[in-house]
Amino acid sequence: MKGDYQELVDEISALLGTPATLENRDFGLIAFGAHDSDDDEAMDPVRTRSILTRKSTPAVRSWFEGFGITRATGPVRIPAAPEAGVFRARICLPVRHRGIVLGYVWLLDAEPGPSHERLGAAMDVAARIGELLADEERAGADLSRELRATLTAERGWQYDMAVAALRTALGPDADGLHALVCLAPWPGEEAPSPRAVPAAAALCAVPWRPQATPGAAVTGGQDPGRGAGPARRRGPAPASAAGAGSGPAAAAGAVPGAPAPYAPGSVPAGGEGGAHRALAVLVRLRSGDNLSPATTAAGRLRGTAGPAAVAGIAAPRRGLADLDASWREASSAARAATAQPHLGPLAEWAAIGPYRMLTALPPAEPDPAVRALLAPAQAELARTAEVFLDHAGQAGRTATALGIHRQTLYYRLSRVEQLTGLDLDAGEDRLLLHMALKAAKL
């Protein structure tokens, strides 16, 4: 954006044959043209201070505004005033957009001065600057409240009203192409300014909590093999072999050693860990086949969130009507990247494979057939089974990936069958085991 301003300022300088300086409406310096004159008076104290400190004093601002520049719609000539540090006369070109002054282009004035036609052409360039300033101001507006309301509302009239408010706040950008990014976990309750994130239209922090799988422990000495359903091909595994029953060895619900997953939801009512948050980022795109603005924004924000943070990126969509679906996709991708580090730390929803389906399912108890395998004591067997299934049941590739001998692999797989009662030669049993192991990480 700064490069665009500099190019336009240089265009005005070339058009009028004198160095130009661009300031915002608060007299903060944005860009200035090159000064190659040997005339020391051209660099009077006011211009020098503006360039060196990137701002003007309140007294200088008040003096210039006294010539009506805040109301002017065309060039304003301002005479020299040595007593005020203004050794050279000025021409001020008000930078406006839709009638609102957003900044000023300053030029040194000299007799006979630029022609009316050239000043008119310079005002046309100033109008283009006004469009850029308006876009930046709109992008820098704090839309956290509107975006948060949209992402947390249930489908229905509340969601429709939230989308309408966000659409109004975004203006013409609302109908453009966007991608939604979910960054989790996010430290704190505040979102950064969109100005600090390239291509960001809006950001907000939303509630996010660790998602535990219901029934995460086998209690009461229950046999984990009982009630396994039609997929069971073998008899129930003995409780002693499964390591089941009450106590620590019976804990299930996650593959041991997996990172703690995060999932969207409301602030928890209590319990350990308290409330966590995620950051939602609505990113503007130029084309649906180029997600680089979203990945760039996510990468920059991860540096702020910390090394444990992951980012999920939803599929691109035009407009805001399906922003809730985009948020589910972005959240799913972030959860998948947390469960499977090789998918992250930046995961696109389109690339998370089976997790597209698994993250869409409501939390459920682990399938009875795999509960024993999910016990902490069976972590090595659970990993062996998952790697075996990830490699399509090819023993050679699996043994290589695990760094073990084939006979060791075959022994472990037989132990998996004993614990689960599943037949790893049966396609449906393989599917059940594979999905159950993946789901447990969520």
The full set of domain ranges for the chain reads: 2-140, 144-212+257-358, 370-440
Spatial contact of 316 and 288, defined as CB atoms under 8 Å apart: yes
Q: What is the mean pLDDT of residues 47-76?
A: 76
CA distance 177 to 319: 6
pLDDT in tens, 240-287: 333 333 332 222 233 333 333 323 333 333 333 345 889 999 999 988
pLDDT at site 246 = 31
CATH superfamily of this structure's domain 2-140: GAF domain (3.30.450.40)
Fold match between domain 2-140 and domain 370-440: no
Architecture per CATH, domain 370-440, reads as Orthogonal Bundle (1.10)
pLDDT in tens, 103-131: 999 998 877 788 999 999 999 999 999 99
In the structure encoding, which two tokens stand for residue 2, read together? 């700064």
Residue 34: pLDDT over 50 = yes
Q: What is the mean pLDDT of residues 62-87?
A: 85
CA 146 to chain CA mean position, Å = 16
Spatial contact of 310 and 343, defined as CB atoms under 8 Å apart: no
pLDDT at site 55 = 59
Residue 51: pLDDT over 70 = no
Question: What Rg, from alpha-carbon coordinates, does the chain have?
Answer: 31
pLDDT at site 257 = 33
For 248, half-sphere exposure in the C-beta direction (CA atoms, 13 angstrom radius) is 3
| pLDDT-based confidence at residue 50 (cuts at 50, 70, 90) | low
pLDDT in tens, 169-218: 888 888 899 999 999 999 877 787 776 787 888 999 998 754 533 333 33
64, amino acid identity: F
